[in-house]
Amino acid sequence: MKIIKDYHIHSIYSKNGHGKSTPEEDVIKGSEIGLVEMAISDHGHRHYLYGIKKDNIKKLHEEIKELNKKYKNINVLQGIEANMLSYDGDSDIDDLVKNNCDIIMGGFHYGVRFKDLKTFYRIYILNFLGKFSIKINKYITKLNTEAVINFMKKNKIKILTHPGEKIPVNIRDVAKAAVEEDVILEINASHKHLSEDDLKCIKDIDVKLIIGSDAHHKDNIGKYEVAINRIEKSGFPIDNVINVEV
């Protein structure tokens, strides 16, 4: 089983040293391991620790144009890993992102300038208390699930990154909504989700999946084994995983 496309690669444009390699170093590595297509996808700008600076979105755009001229055996796309900003599904996808990025991914992260206090309370307080109370856990899982579904509905994202990572969701409901909204769910090779259990739980749903390295250093591009193992063990139909060449 070979992975031929990887859209989840961070570069030095994810600020504060979060991404370690330059886009060119990433492209050289991607091309060496036989990817036919890849995207440089840094964090959306509302991530106050790691988000790409707005000025760098255009700069990266120009850089990617040059990389495509220089490296002919691989197609390089500009991506973004946008952030969920509220339980109503707001995001940091703006016109600058839409006009420059070829592929828009999105997911839930801490460290984001959330839209309002209500969101802040739910994210930090209720999700924390949910670890100690079954009742609160049930309540916040339902709200989290609705938030992620709203996020998919409100924004034209192509890929939902690491669903269920960091905050709990009902993965079956998320998968059903992803089918309706034509969103691909990610099996993230650097995080635990989608997990083997998630995959078992949704294997009867005709949802499209993708493996993403979530590499923050060029040397992690190509490390897909953990994600592949999860799929194989779960029995999820491999034909639904769009970046695999069987």
What minimum distance in Å lies between the beta carbon of 109 and Zn ion?
6
**For Zn ion, which is the closer residue by CB, 48 or 138?**
48
What minimum distance in Å lies between the beta carbon of 161 and Zn ion?
5
**For Zn ion, which is the closer residue by CB, 26 or 214?**
214
What minimum distance in Å lies between the beta carbon of 72 and Zn ion?
27
The CA distance from 111 to 90, in Å, is 16
The CA distance from 206 to 208, in Å, is 7
**For Zn ion, which is the closer residue by CB, 108 or 236?**
108
**For Zn ion, which is the closer residue by CB, 42 or 63?**
42
Which residue is closest to Zn ion by CB? 214
What minimum distance in Å lies between the beta carbon of 214 and Zn ion?
4
The CA distance from 118 to 124, in Å, is 10
What minimum distance in Å lies between the beta carbon of 70 and Zn ion?
25
Q: Mind giving me the DSSP string for the chain?
A: -EE-EEEEE--TTSTTTTS-S-HHHHHHHHHHTT-SEEEEEEEPTTBTTTPPPHHHHHHHHHHHHHHHHH-TTSEEEEEEEEEB-STT--BS--HHHHHH-SEEEEE--SSB--SSHHHHIIIIIIHHHTTT-HHHHHHHHHHHHHHHHHHHHHS--SEE-STTSSS---HHHHHHHHHHHT-EEEEESSSS-S-HHHHHHTTTS---EEEE--BSSGGGTT--HHHHHHHHHHT--GGGBTTEE-
**For Zn ion, which is the closer residue by CB, 22 or 203?**
22
Give the largest CA-CA distance in the chain. Answer: 56
**For Zn ion, which is the closer residue by CB, 104 or 180?**
104
Residues that bind Zn ion (CB under 5 A): 81, 107, 161, 214
What minimum distance in Å lies between the beta carbon of 163 and Zn ion?
11
**Closest alpha carbon to 76 in 40, 51, 111, 104:** 40
**For Zn ion, which is the closer residue by CB, 11 or 161?**
161
